[in-house]
Amino acid sequence: MRQVLGFMLLMAAAGIGAVRYMDHSAKSGGTSAMTLATKPAPAAAPAQSGGYRTVTLRDNGRGYFEVEARVEGRSIDFLVDTGASAIALRESSAAKLGIHPGVRDYTIKTQTANGVGKAAPVTLDRVEINGITVRDVRAIVVPDEALSTNLLGMTFLSRVKWTHDRGKLVLEQ
């Protein structure tokens, strides 16, 4: 019961974060995260120093960081969203990974600018960005009509060191 309650709180925070992110984007004249559907810029090749891997992402000129990640060994495009509590996969992307939640699996209530929705909790074995790998990552699957792009949220980002400065997002592991 605690896990369910904890995950529900996590998803509520993700919904609030997504709304704030979109509000900020709209105020600054940017494109909303829910409507952004551009091809991600490739991540820089990882640098290694002292046993650490470092990946530097540059914003796309509109203040967003897009990245192609390998999830379960397959390439998936993401928008990096520090306001999202979890990785959010569109149903179509999840299907490419062999993840097909049933109607009964959509047990998490979500709140976004598009309204109230439902999501299915899943665990991803491996998410990798140019050599930076995180295993056993919690994520949610969201209907395609509720989300226009996959979000790389805090269930990944909290497990790597990351800094944001002057149009660059640096990931380190």
Q: Per-residue pLDDT for the chain (173 aa), expressed as one digit of tens each?
A: 444 334 444 444 444 444 344 433 333 333 333 333 333 444 555 555 456 899 999 989 888 999 999 999 999 999 999 989 999 999 999 999 999 999 999 999 987 767 789 999 999 999 999 999 999 999 999 999 999 999 999 999 999 999 998 889 999 99
pLDDT score recorded for residue 35: 30
> What is the spatial distance between Cα 162 and Cα 173, in angstroms, rounded to a whole number?
9
The arrangement of secondary structure in 2-172, i.e. its CATH architecture, is Beta Barrel (2.40)
Residue 10 pLDDT: 44
DSSP 8-state secondary structure symbol assigned to residue 72 = T
- At position 42, the amino acid (one-letter code) is P
Predicted pLDDT of residue 115: 79
Return the sign of the alpha-carbon dihedral for residues 163, 136, 4, 8: positive
Query: Which residues are CB-contacts of 15 (< 8 A; sequence separation ≥ 6)?
Result: 110, 111, 112
pLDDT at 9: 41
**Nearest CA-CA partner of 19 in 31, 30, 33, 5:** 33
Per-residue model confidence (pLDDT) at position 47: 53
Q: Per-domain residue ranges for the chain?
A: 2-172
Residues facing 70 on adjacent strands: 75, 128
The DSSP-derived string for 89-150 is EEHHHHHHTT----GGG--EEEEETTEEEEEEEEEEEEEEETTEEEEEEEEEEE-GGG-SSE
